[in-house]
């Protein structure tokens, strides 16, 4: 019996044959028509992407931007973050880091709650 078994209790292994493939298609809703707000995903590799992100925010969309490529260029990263912070402030939106590689920029009237959602603990 290993240390993990002692700590967590011994678990029984389920044979691969007993696993069942689930079709998630039945849980996906087909959306007809246009949405008022979209979540857009961007990869920022330099200053060239900022105007399109700005346009998306002014159109009322939320942008999740991957900034991992900019880690090696602190000067460019600082300038882009300053521009995007100013954009969020100008439109009454929000900007927040998500881990070390992503930022979320929101349009007017949408704020990001910095508190993590935690499940209810049972006693």
3: pLDDT strictly greater than 60: no
Count: domains in the chain: 1
| Residue 63, in any domain of the structure | yes
Residues 30-41 pLDDT 10s = 667 788 999 999
| Residue 85, in any domain of the structure | yes
Can you give the C-alpha Rg of the chain in angstroms?
21
The model's pTM is 0.70
Look at residue 70 in the predicted model and tell me its pLDDT. 93
Report, as an integer, the average pLDDT of 59-88.
96
Report, as an integer, the average pLDDT of 2-30.
63
**């707000």: which residue's tokens?**
37
> How far is residue 119's CA from residue 123's CA, in Å, rounded to a whole number?
13
60: pLDDT strictly greater than 90: yes
| Residue 75, in any domain of the structure | yes
Domain that residue 44 falls in:
35-106
Of residues 29 and 113, which shows the higher confidence score?
Answer: 113
- CATH number of the domain that residue 85 is part of: 3.30.110.150
| Residue 52, in any domain of the structure | yes
> How far is residue 100's CA from residue 66's CA, in Å, rounded to a whole number?
9
């Amino acid at each position: 019996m290993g240390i993990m078994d002692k700590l967590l209790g011994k678990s029984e292994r389920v044979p691969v044959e007993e696993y069942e493939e689930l079709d998630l298609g039945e849980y996906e809703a087909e959306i007809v028509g246009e949405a008022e707000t979209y979540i857009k995903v961007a990869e920022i590799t330099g200053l060239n992407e900022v105007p399109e992100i700005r346009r998306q925010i002014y159109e009322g969309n939320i942008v999740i931007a991957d900034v991992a490529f900019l880690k090696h260029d602190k000067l460019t990263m600082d300038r882009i973050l300053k521009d995007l912070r100013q954009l969020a402030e100008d439109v009454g939106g929000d900007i927040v880091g998500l881990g070390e590689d992503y930022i979320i920029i929101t349009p007017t009237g949408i704020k990001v709650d910095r508190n993590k959602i935690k499940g209810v603990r049972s006693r």
